[in-house]
């Protein structure tokens, strides 16, 4: 794990993390570019920048022993590299608010992922240059988004210069939104998707996706079908596909949401 702290002295309350998955280099490229040529001299708050899974990054693999983004909070004494790494990463991040970077083959524009929406998370999603934020509350556990002050941005296509450029723009917008960099925050309308269902592949089949991510699929329409026609998934009620792709993941097709609305109206009242 590489940890860099830039800006004024003090305990960082603003952080960004790349290489949560080793085969998604866009966030690392954004962090390295910021360290090399970013406006670090203008930082008004200390910022912690982390390249998390250097071993997986060097290998070009999603992970070495276990998926880092399934094993939070981790265990400092575990045998698996990523379980130890998760514990060390959380110790480095402390109480900071964190932007995590991921890459996807499912969608070419940046979008957010989160869970347990708070006013702070909603504000950050609105301040980043993205239009969609997928909320995985209750659907996933052990992930970074389950942490109280953590949101992710997904950039794509995985491994491209375009993804790295989008990650950099998101990093700058994030630092402005956190008041770590001067400059106007330009809020963008962001739609919040309440993710409810996980779509899995049947072993041995290959698939064809029939719909677009974040676009409404009416009740009964085909979302995805296997190339042999034996496995067909249809919308039950109106749904919105999220992270859906035929070959982005070994066993997973993606997710569906059952509601979409402006993110500022989605924050639970307390
Ligand atoms: Zn990822």
Give me the sign of the Cα torsion angle 79, 80, 83, 89.
Answer: positive
> How far, in Å, is the centroid of ligand 1 from the Cα of 102?
4
Nearest to 60 by CA among 86, 21, 26: 21
- Cα-to-centroid distance, 25 and ligand 1 (Å): 10
- Judge whether residue 269 has pLDDT over 90: no
Helix pair 119-127, 161-177: axis angle to 10 deg: 130
| Confidence class for position 106, pLDDT limits 50, 70, 90 | confident
Distance 153 CA to ligand 1 centre (A): 9
Q: Where are the alpha helices (DSSP H) in the chain?
A: 26-37, 54-59, 81-93, 119-127, 161-177
pLDDT band, very low/low/confident/very high, at 121 (cuts 50, 70, 90): very high
- Determine the distance separating the centroid of ligand 1 and the alpha carbon of 186, expressed in angstroms: 26
Report the mean per-residue pLDDT for the chain: 96
The CATH superfamily holding the domain 2-177 is: Zn peptidases (3.40.630.10)
pLDDT for 243? 94
128-168 confidence digits (pLDDT tens): 999 999 999 999 888 999 999 999 999 988 889 999 999 99
pLDDT of the residue at 21: 96
pLDDT of residue 67: 95
Distance 140 CA to ligand 1 centre (A): 14
Residue ranges of E strands in the chain: 2-6, 14-18, 47-51, 97-103, 111-114, 132-135, 150-155, 191-200, 207-209, 222-226, 232-234, 240-242, 252-262
Residue 1 CA, ligand 1 centroid: distance in Å = 16
How many angstroms is it from 265 CA to the middle of ligand 1? Answer: 27
Does the pLDDT of residue 249 top 90, yes or no? no
238 CA to centre of ligand 1 in angstroms: 27
For residue 104, the Cα-to-chain-centroid distance in whole angstroms is 9
β-pairing, 47-51 vs 97-103, is unpaired
Q: How far is the CA of 103 from the centre of ligand 1 (A)?
A: 6
Q: Which tens digit of pLDDT belongs to each residue from 174-229? A: 999 999 999 989 889 999 999 999 999 999 999 999 999 999 999 999 999 999 99
Q: Counting Cβ atoms within 10 Å, is residue 249 exposed (0-12), middle (13-18) or buried (19+)?
A: middle
Q: What is the pLDDT of residue 156?
A: 87
Task: Give this prediction's pTM.
Answer: 0.94
Ligand 1 centroid – CA 69 distance (Å): 7
Q: How far is the CA of 41 from the centre of ligand 1 (A)?
A: 30
The Å distance, Cα 173 to ligand 1 centre, comes to 20
CA distance 111 to 95: 24
Confidence band for 38, pLDDT divided at 50, 70 and 90: very high
Q: How far is the CA of 26 from the centre of ligand 1 (A)?
A: 10
Dist. CA 8 → ligand 1 center (Å): 30
Distance 39 CA to ligand 1 centre (A): 27
């Amino acid at each position: 794990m590489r940890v860099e702290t830039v800006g004024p002295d003090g305990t960082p309350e603003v952080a960004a993390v790349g290489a949560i998955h080793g085969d998604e280099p866009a966030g690392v490229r954004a962090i390295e570019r910021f360290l090399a040529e970013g406006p670090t001299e203008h930082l008004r708050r200390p910022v912690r920048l982390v390249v998390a899974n250097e071993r997986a990054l060097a290998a070009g693999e999603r992970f070495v022993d276990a998926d880092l983004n399934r094993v939070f909070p981790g265990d400092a004494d575990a045998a698996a590299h990523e379980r130890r790494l998760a514990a060390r990463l959380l110790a480095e991040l402390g109480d900071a608010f964190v932007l995590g970077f991921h890459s996807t083959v499912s969608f070419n524009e940046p979008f957010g992922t989160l869970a347990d929406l708070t006013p702070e998370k909603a504000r950050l999603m609105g301040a980043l240059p993205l239009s969609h934020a997928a909320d995985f509350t209750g659907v996933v556990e052990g992930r970074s988004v389950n942490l109280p002050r953590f949101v992710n941005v997904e950039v794509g296509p995985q491994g491209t210069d375009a993804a790295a450029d989008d990650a950099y723009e998101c990093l700058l917008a994030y630092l402005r939104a956190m008041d770590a960099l001067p400059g106007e925050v330009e809020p963008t309308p962001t739609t919040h998707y309440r993710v409810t269902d996980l779509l899995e592949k049947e072993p041995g089949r290959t698939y064809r996706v029939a719909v677009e991510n974040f676009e409404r699929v009416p009740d009964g329409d085909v979302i995805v079908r296997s190339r042999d026609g034996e496995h067909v998934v249809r919308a039950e009620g109106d749904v919105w596909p999220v992270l859906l792709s035929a070959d982005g993941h070994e066993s997973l097709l993606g997710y569906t949401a059952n509601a979409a609305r402006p993110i500022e109206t989605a924050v639970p009242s307390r």
